[in-house]
Amino acid sequence: GAVVSQHPSRVICKSGTSVKIECRSLDFQATTMFWYRQFPKQSLMLMATSNEGSKATYEQGVEKDKFLINHASLTLSTLTVTSAHPEDSSFYICSARSGTGGVPGANVLTFGAGSRLTVL
Amino acid sequence: QKEVEQDPGPLSVPEGAIVSLNCTYSNSAFQYFMWYRQYSRKGPELLMYTYSSGNKEDGRFTAQVDKSSKYISLFIRDSQPSDSATYLCASRTYNTDKLIFGTGTRLQVFP
């Protein structure tokens, strides 16, 4: 089945530094990838939609200058958290559209394993 | 009001029990309904995917959608300790990939 790989799985950084998280579709091409954030005991919240070769679309309330997204190829999207602060500590998960799952009109999303960011 | 509401649990059941997990939603435009399973510190894994109202069965899992009452259910028969995880319901409208997730219900199946 479709696999989405995310790296690193865990990162600890100092406040003020930038962190880059990679999301790769391993056995399929993904023109669109999605970045989610999950705080403890809360639901996944969509941050932005990453489109290959064009600018990402950000959800309301998400700072695009802080969370830089680059989707340079059909298999790779990156999320860079710039000038990270402790409140940015969270679980970041990417996903990619990987098929229809047999349901008409459906777009099945495959998720990566997530990246846990801790900002000290 | 959240668009998708889900009881966070935790729900603890003995091995072999039938588990019922539920969500309610408020957006009548939702057409697709999904259940994901998420193990600790891992990304969500798609379990069931249904369109509009009705039932869908896959092995020990049955997904049920009642659009008239805006109610989504997942039933797990003969539950196993390996089913212990957080179960997330999610919904979306027809013309978007944007999934709206519930908070997830943590399930523990003890031997």
Q: What are B16-35's pLDDT values in tens digits?
A: 999 999 999 999 999 999 99
Report CA-CA distances (Å) from A5 to A23, B18, B55: 6, 33, 32
> B65-96: buried (b, 16+ CB within 10 Å) or exposed (e) per residue?
beeeebebbbbbeebeeebbbbbbbbbbeeee
Q: How confident is the model at residue A1, as a pLDDT? A: 74
Asked if A3 reaches chain B (Cβ–Cβ under 8 Å), the answer is: no
Residues of chain A found within 8 Å of residue B85, distances taken between Cβ atoms: none
Say if residue A105's pLDDT is above 60. Answer: no
Tell me whether residues A111 and B45 touch, CB distance under 8 A: yes
Asked if A31 reaches chain B (Cβ–Cβ under 8 Å), the answer is: no
> Could you tell me which residues come within 8 angstroms of residue A61 by beta carbon, excluding any fewer than 6 positions away?
none
pLDDT-derived band at B96 (thresholds 50, 70, 90) equals confident
Interface test with A, best of B34, B45, B50, B99 (most A CBs within 10 A): B99
Asked if B102 reaches chain A (Cβ–Cβ under 8 Å), the answer is: yes
Average pLDDT, integer, range A68-77: 91
Tell me whether residues B32 and A108 touch, CB distance under 8 A: no
Tell me whether residues A111 and B36 touch, CB distance under 8 A: yes
pLDDT-derived band at A103 (thresholds 50, 70, 90) equals low
DSSP state at residue B42: S
In chain A, the residue whose alpha carbon lies closest to the alpha carbon of B6 is A43
Distance of residue A44 Cα from the nearest chain B Cα, in angstroms = 6
DSSP state at residue A59: P
Spatial contact of A43 and A16, defined as CB atoms under 8 Å apart? no
DSSP, collapsed to helix, strand or coil, labels residue B98 as coil
> Could you tell me which residues come within 8 angstroms of residue A7 by beta carbon, excluding any fewer than 6 positions away?
A21, A22, A24, A115
Q: How confident is the model at residue A102, as a pLDDT? A: 56
Which of B43, B50, B101 is opposite residue A113, by nearest beta carbon?
Answer: B43
Q: Which residue has the tokens 């190829």?
A: A73
Residues of chain A found within 8 Å of residue B94, distances taken between Cβ atoms: 105
Q: How confident is the model at residue A63, as a pLDDT? A: 94
In chain A, the residue whose alpha carbon lies closest to the alpha carbon of B105 is A41
> Could you tell me which residues come within 8 angstroms of residue B39 by beta carbon, excluding any fewer than 6 positions away?
B45, B85, B86
Interface of A with B in 40-59 (CB under 8 A): 41-46, 49
Which of B49, B50, B104 is opposite residue A108, by nearest beta carbon?
Answer: B49
How many contiguous H segments (helices) and E segments (strands) does chain A have?
Answer: 0, 11
**Average confidence score pLDDT of chain A:** 90
Question: Which of A6, A31, A25, A16 shows the shortest CA–CA distance to A91?
Answer: A6
**Average confidence score pLDDT of chain B:** 92
